[in-house]
Chain A
Amino acid sequence: MIESLISVLLFTTPLAIAAVGETVNQRAGQINIGLEGMMLVAAYVAAIVAIETGSPVLGIGAAIAAMIPLWLIQNFLTIQAGRDQVVVGTALNLCAIGLTSTLYQMRFGQSGQLLSVPQLPRWGGIDGMVLFGLLLVPVLGWWLFRSRWGLVLRAAGEYPDSVRSSGFSVARIRWEAAAVGAVMAALAGAHLSIGVGGTFVQEMTSGRGFVAVALVSFGRWRPAWVLAACLLVGGAEFLKFYYQVRQTALPYQLFLALPYLVALGVLVIVGKNSRAPAALAQPFRSNQ
């Protein structure tokens, strides 16, 4: 039982870190559809650097560094140029899939070998990233809802004009929020390849970035709720195999639907008071 819970925790960590980072981003009024692509690039870079240097920690550092150009391009287009966030994010995803697949094939394509990546050390089944993810939630929760920075950030997502008239820069706040999101995407992606997977496979993120974006609204834009939503989905993923392995009378496909049924129930009961940031996905033009 304990072992199962630890396993769920370990396998949910990449999703949870990405989703909590995206919460900060969305609170500032930005939706990062490119999260999937960012995670994929991070997974690739972390794997390659870990192989080259033998150090998974350096791999994580490199994954964060790799986010800098993506962060610059994406937010130049969305914040400075006011382009549609969904379109820019989608372009980023396509770019990431093409880029990582090409680089992977150039380097390992014809080698005929499976990729083995040095992994983060574990203690009792969990690694440092799991602890970091668990710590991250209260810290970011406090930051978003109890600090001055968080107040301004949330205002940038609700009513950016008020932020501007208070003497803050909406653009600057959003750049900062995007940076937090990008670092979390890097950690999440790196954890996929060098934390839980132990390998890199083309397109190995398999939609986790999109799920993370969706779970932010399911978690009502609150880090603790978002974490809970991630654990729910992670738990259902676990059950999917659990029942297939034990060959119960119930078809395992039933358990595929479980997280969605629970989500529906939660939304019906508590969804009434939940509201997305008012300025979500809207570009802010200061000259208006």
Chain B
Amino acid sequence: MVKKLKSIVGVLGLAGLVLAGCTGGQQAAKGDSPSSAQAADGSFKVALITPGSVSDAGWNAMAFAGLQAIESELGAEITNAEATGAKIRDVMRTYAQEDYKLIFGHGFEYNAPGVELAKQFPNTVFISSSGAETATNAGSFRFYLEQGFYLAGMMGAKMSRNKHLAMVGLNVPSIVSTFRGFEAGAKAADPNVKVTTVLLTDTKDAVAVKQATLQVIEAGADMIIHQANEAARSVFDACKEKGAMAFGSNADQNGDTSGVVLASAVIVAKPAFVEVARQVKEGKYQGGVTFIGMDKGAIDFIVNPAKAGQIPDDVKAAVEQAKQDILAGKIVVPKDEF
């Protein structure tokens, strides 16, 4: 009897722990429920769903910066959560039911679920970062990051000692497309340069990302660009260990403590995020794919000021010229449709 009691107490204790652990995993649950009542008095609620932690100093962090700008500039009430795979629909539906007016899904994978749920929740707008499906209350951004990658490829090709560049990133269509831009830039600068691609299946496995980067450096690459999200640290560490240089991506990663980042190809998402939120708030949003590139200031290539001395002036000039050519439409950077 005593034994049975003991075991029941034990199971309850463990169940409690599991519950405590699980609920915390989604920040969405935190502090949302009391606010749904306020929505009735007209407060504007905006949610962001990211595939990974917003502390990746890259893809997810730049979206979070956009969300924060919506809070400060439009006085919106904001929240964010991480969701991938089957959880995407659940989290989106939860937000829509709690009267969120605008839900950002930060990636290609949020496009289809958003368009699907848009039919059930006509008062909520679903926006995904990349993706081609749209509805009157659903659409996407298409950031022309290939332009930034093109310039990184040019700089890399001109500065590589071994004439060998590498790209390390997740195997998803939007990322593979940016790698096309990088390769095009590298080949434009030097047709003989070698460009190696290493595609990953999972960026949570930071250890495998590091192993992949070490190997590509071992094979001769000395300029690495990445799309490794939260495992970017592992890419930079591997570069530092083996004496290679790296390019940051999505957000400005020039200040990274590893000291290997030469320049970053960045998306400036803030103005785009705030603009779409303003349209939604004023009830003017129409749906569709918003294509934004360098001409709108949404894409940039920023040289690390601390490394500027290591970059020869003619390389800087060539990259600047290419930037002007892209802006003038003389260079059209290749990209994939997805």
Contacts and interface: CB of A to CB of B under 8 A. Distances in A.
A80 B6 contact: yes
B54 A94 contact: no
A90 to B, nearest CB: 10
What bracket does the count of chain B residues touching chain A fall in?
35 or more
Contacts of A192: 207
B55 A114 contact: yes
Contacts of B191: none
Interface string B1-21: 001001100110111011011
Given A95-B18, A105-B27, A241 B211 contact: yes
B230 interface: yes
A197 to B, nearest CB: 5
B202 interface: yes
Given A109-B53, A115-B233, A241-B215, A95 B21 contact: yes
A267 B232 CA distance: 39
A94 B208 contact: no
Given A76-B10, A113-B57, A199-B234, A99 B205 contact: no
Contacts of B13: 73
Contact of B233 (A88, A116, A244): A116
Interface stretch (A55-63, A147-155, A163-171, A201-209): A201-209
A113 B14 contact: no
B202 A199 contact: no
B198 to A, nearest CB: 6
Given A97-B25, A99-B21, A83 B11 contact: yes
A143 interface: no
Contacts of B257: 116
Contacts of B99: none
A198 B14 contact: no
What bracket does the count of chain A residues touching chain B fall in?
35 or more
A198 B237 contact: yes
Interface string A241-271: 1101111000000000000000000000000
A110 interface: yes
Contact of A245 (B198, B236, B258): B198
Contacts of A105: 24, 27, 53
B231 interface: yes
B25 A102 contact: yes
Contacts of B205: 201, 204, 206
Contacts of B237: 116, 198-199
Interface string A103-119: 01100111111111000
A282 interface: no
A98 B55 contact: no
B78 to A, nearest CB: 11
B216 interface: yes
A94 B20 CA distance: 10
Contacts of B219: 245-246
A115 B64 CA distance: 17
Contacts of B214: 7
Contacts of A102: 21, 24-25
B61 A112 contact: yes
B211 A7 contact: yes
Contact of B21 (A73, A98, A113, A247): A98
Interface in B96-131: none
Contacts of B198: 241, 244-245
A169 to B, nearest CB: 16
Contacts of A7: 211, 214-215
Nearest to A103: B24
B10 A96 contact: no
Interface in B191-223: 196-199, 202-208, 210-212, 214-216, 218-219
A158 interface: no
B233 A114 contact: yes
A73 B14 contact: yes
B55 A110 contact: yes
A82 interface: yes
A73 B17 contact: yes
A94 B22 contact: yes
Given A114-B230, A245-B198, 8 more contacts: A7-B215, A81-B10, A98-B20, A108-B53, A112-B65, A116-B257, A204-B206, A238-B211
Interface of A: 3, 7, 11, 14, 73, 76-77, 80-83, 88, 91-92, 94-99, 101-102, 104-105, 108-116, 192, 196-204, 206, 237-238, 241-242, 244-247
8 nearest CB pairs, A to B: A98-B21, A102-B24, A81-B7, A206-B205, A199-B233, A114-B233, A99-B21, A95-B21
21 contacts: A80-B3, A82-B7, A83-B10, A94-B18, A95-B17, A99-B20, A105-B53, A109-B55, A114-B55, A114-B56, A114-B256, A198-B237, A201-B206, A202-B230, A206-B204, A237-B208, A245-B166, A245-B198, A245-B216, A245-B218, A246-B219
